Amino acid sequence: MELESHQFVSFFEPEQAAELCKRAIVETFPDRKVLFDEGDNPDFLYLVLEGQVEFRKYISPNEYRSLAKAVPNGYFGELGILDGQPRSAQAVVCEGATLAKIPRHDLMDVLQHTKGSVVIRLFSYTIQRLRESTEQYVKQQVYQDKMVLLGEMLNTVIHDFKSPLSGINLASGMIKELHPDEETVEWCDLIKAQAQRMSAMAEELLEFAQGNTVLNKQPINLAIALQRFEKLNRVYLQEARVQLVIQATDVMVNADENKLMRVWQNLVSNAVEAFDGCGGSIEITAWANGKDAKIQIHDNGPGIPEAIREHLFEAFVTYGKRGGTGLGTAIAKSIIDAHGGEISFECNGSRGTTFYIRLPMLKRFPTS
């Protein structure tokens, strides 16, 4: 955007606005450029013309907590300019940014010759921004506290799971040896696979709480992986009176199959819960599209409530679900992001919900 049309400049009368633009220094900064650190003396007011700037608070060696972001048409650094106190946070550029820097002494000089009504408007807007930043910080603090509590709880759950899961695996193995017929072997293998999934799910929750998604990537065929997913969920879906249709071509991706299973499980389980016992259908398709593998998960349910659509992929966002944690779609997004992919959705109340997943595709099939 042009400096002359920036909202900060628009607060002033034409003469003062022109003077501010004349004294401003327009610069373009690269990604991750630190504009100032916590404790630095204030020297400039910054107007954001392009890109974004993140504000972070130092909490421990090499660790920062994000506080807020400034976007185009926003500005920052005015408090230090007005009271002369050191900067209270670090400002770092996100993905490159073009900023207009107004030196402190120039801004104060212009303010000295500005009408009181203009100053009042400027201060009112500054107070509004402070309220919004405070609210955002409180939300982030609550989120951090929840994640710490979740991590502590999961550590206990994983420890307590080890003994009963070992017993389940041992028992299913003994039954398999005593009754080696095909049907019994198949059910015992399913029991073992589901027990392993329970352990993996708890571990994945712990990774999410710690903000660290660990991937064990291998070349996998999406068609085969989806067939395995259907087999693991066959009984669950039959009891819920939900029909699962899978249409997948042989598409190879370099991915963590267990993690992808978790993504599909979370999205399918959400759809099943939305059916609320009335039954329905879910269709999963996978195909190659240029350099990408595309996965589409469509259901004919009632759709995602309008109230949570904007924040669907954020943690602890849920609506009207008995026992819902609001973590399913957040975990799904963290897994897809870790694979270098993308996930999005489209919702139409009369035609259900469709999730779209993109993953980088292997250039060729692995040869033996």
112-163 confidence digits (pLDDT tens): 887 777 777 777 777 777 777 667 666 766 766 776 776 677 677 776 777 7
Q: Where are the beta strands (DSSP E) in the chain?
A: 25-29, 34-36, 44-60, 63-70, 75-76, 90-103, 218-221, 242-248, 252-255, 280-289, 292-299, 342-348, 352-360
Average pLDDT over residues 322-334: 75
- Which amino acid is located at 230 in the chain? E
111 vs 12, 21, 43, 69, 129, CA distance in Å?
Answer: 9, 14, 16, 26, 20
Write the pLDDT tens digit of every residue in 9-41: 988 888 889 999 999 999 999 999 999 998 899
Compute the average pLDDT of residues 173-200.
84
pLDDT computed for residue 325 by the predictor: 61
**Which of 81-95, 183-197, 235-249 is modeled with the greatest confidence?**
235-249
CA distance 262 to 277: 22
Residue 67 DSSP SS3: strand
78-111 in b/e form (b: 16+ CB < 10 A) is bbbbbeeeebebbbbbeeebbbbbbebebbeebb
Structure-derived torsion over alpha carbons of residues 301, 306, 311, 312, reported in degrees to the nearest 10? 0
Which residue, 261, 271, 331, 328, is CA-closest to 300? 271
List domains and CATH numbers for the chain: 3-114 (2.60.120.10), 143-209 (1.10.287), 218-360 (3.30.565.10)
Look at residue 320 and tell me whether its pLDDT is greater than 70: no
Percent of the chain with pLDDT over 90: 32
Q: What is the mean pLDDT of the chain?
A: 84
Which pLDDT value is given to residue 330?
Answer: 85
Partners of residue 356 on adjacent β-strands: 296, 344
Cα–chain center distance at 93: 20
The pLDDT value recorded for residue 154 is: 66
Q: Bridge-partner residues for 242, per DSSP?
A: 280
Bridge-based pairing of strands 44-60 and 34-36 is unpaired
The SS3 assignment for 8 reads helix
pLDDT of residue 368 exceeding 60, the answer is no
pLDDT band (50, 70, 90) for residue 198 = confident
283: nearest Cα among 244, 230, 233, 324? 244
- Supply the pTM of this predicted model: 0.56
Q: How far apart are CA 255 and CA 118, in angstroms?
A: 57
pLDDT of residue 103: 92
Query: From CA 150, how far away is CA 40, in angstroms rounded?
Result: 36
Condensed to tens digits (0 to 9), the pLDDT of residues 180-193 reads: 888 898 888 888 87
Q: What is the phi/psi pair of residue 88, to 5°?
A: -95, -5
Which of 81-95, 120-134, 156-170, 286-300 is most confident?
Answer: 286-300
Residue with tokens 């603090």: 141
3-state SS class at 310: coil
Q: What is the mean pLDDT of residues 228-245?
A: 91
pLDDT at residue 57, rounded to an integer: 82
Q: Where are the alpha helices (DSSP H) in 84-115?
A: 104-112
